[in-house]
Amino acid sequence: MKQFEVPAFYRSPIISKVKAKRKLEDPRKKDFSPSELTLGNITFIIARHFGFCYGVENAIEKSYKAIEENPTKRIFLLSQMIHNPAVNEDLVSHGLQFLQDTEGNQLIPFSDLSADDLVIIPAFGTTLEIEKQLNSIGVDIATYNTTCPFVEKVWNRSEKLGETDHTIVIHGKYNHEETRATFSHSSKNAPSIVLKDLQEAKELAAYILGERSEEEFMLYFSNKMSEGFNPVLHLKKIGVVNQTTMLATETQEIAQFLREVMIQKYGEDDVKSHIADTRDTLCYATNDNQTATLALMESTADLSIVVGGYNSSNTSHLVELLEQKFPCYFIKDAGEIQSQNAINSFDIHLKSIESHSNYLPQKEKVRIIVTSGASCPDALVDGVMMKLLSFYHSEQEIRTLLSQV
């Protein structure tokens, strides 16, 4: 695996040692059980796989190279590089500017750009329409394009599906940057439609099986399908691909459900003619993060803490899993831990930051699950662990404990 040149302050003295030890013990990552690190009164139960993935490290490396190699140029980020405020704030501190917000709303008009400027495409990729606009200005978008290769893999698979007359069913959040980009690319090659979850897959199935009218279908999926989409023609042969940050298990569930629908409609013998096997579009890093989180759920713990950006799709899915079993607190960094008795946590259902009291149990020994999303620097996880340790140990005691890691 390639080693990326990521700024040193993103690295961590605690987590890096834990990850290095596990990599040495299990280089092929066959064991997804968590690591346990006891530091005085706290045992941290640490996921086998979390934090920066290949695509994120690639994006960060290219962004800082752009800054270093172009000191006299204006450099713009099309939108948030990745969904982590600490990373984006640091890039902005180096003079980079955002052209759009995460919803695609314009912050700086493209008309303000010139051919002398640089625009960095984020890890999520972008739409063909935006690429065309920027190319027409003459802006360099190729040199520092940070589109994740696993996102591009989904685009390439969609193209192949289009060549065999499949309609592309995208499992994703319609307004997410990556889904907008994937939808744009897939729509070029084939009729395309976006499903957010299994419930929307069931709505799709209801039409395929004749339980919904064409009018009901068109109303329900309005603005979620490509121009000229015709359900009468375009739902006879499908392939399911995913937004790489969605739950891999949910993508597989949707694909399997739709396969059963096609068997019901056309019969077992002919099902391969109506739905493609697209398991190869799942992102390995997202899948590993989620598998490691499922392994965490086999642990005994008092609470769980997930660190990451609040608009990070892959991070929110880790919260969805852990909150099924443990009190789960979703925080962007150690600053959300107010005291030993108070913590601010993002509620993924209410979409708001909520205050919680007495989140740490009143006991001498505490077991805390810790993980983070694919866009979260390990250094932020270290900061969270250090903050929690400070409630139980003096600064000198913490230094002594860390020297033993």
The string of pLDDT tens digits covering residues 344-382 is: 999 999 999 999 999 999 999 999 999 998 889 999 999
3-state secondary structure at position 277:
coil
2 pLDDT band, cuts 50/70/90, is low
**pLDDT score at 5:** 67
54-137, CATH topology level: Rossmann fold (3.40.50)
The string of pLDDT tens digits covering residues 386-403 is: 999 999 999 999 999 999
pTM of the prediction? 0.82
Say yes or no to pLDDT of 335 above 80. Answer: yes
Active site residue 178: yes
The DSSP 8-state label assigned to residue 4 in this structure reads: P
**pLDDT score at 370:** 98
- Give the residue extent of every domain in the chain: 8-53+285-402, 54-137, 149-281
Q: How far is CA 252 from the centre of its chain?
A: 17
More confident residue, 244 or 368: 368
Average pLDDT, the chain: 92
3-state secondary structure at position 62:
helix
CATH placement of domain 149-281 = 3.40.1010.20
Strand partners of residue 356: 343
CATH topology of 8-53+285-402 equal to that of 149-281? Answer: yes
Exactly one of 57, 178, 200, 250 is catalytic; which is it?
A: 178
Residue 207's contacts (CB-CB under 8 Å, 6 or more residues apart) are 213, 214, 216, 217, 231, 235
Distances (CA, A) of 346 to 144, 336, 349: 33, 10, 9
Q: How far is CA 130 from the centre of its chain?
A: 22
Q: How far is CA 170 from the centre of its chain?
A: 15
C-beta separation of 91 from 81 below 8 A: yes
Q: In 357-389, which positions are buried (b, 16+ CB within 10 angstroms) versus exposed (e)? A: eebbeeeeebbbbbbbbbbbbbbbbbbbbbbbb
CATH placement of domain 8-53+285-402 = 3.40.1010.20
The string of pLDDT tens digits covering residues 186-208 is: 999 999 999 999 999 999 999 99
Query: Whole-angstrom Cα distance, residue 282 to residue 264?
Result: 26
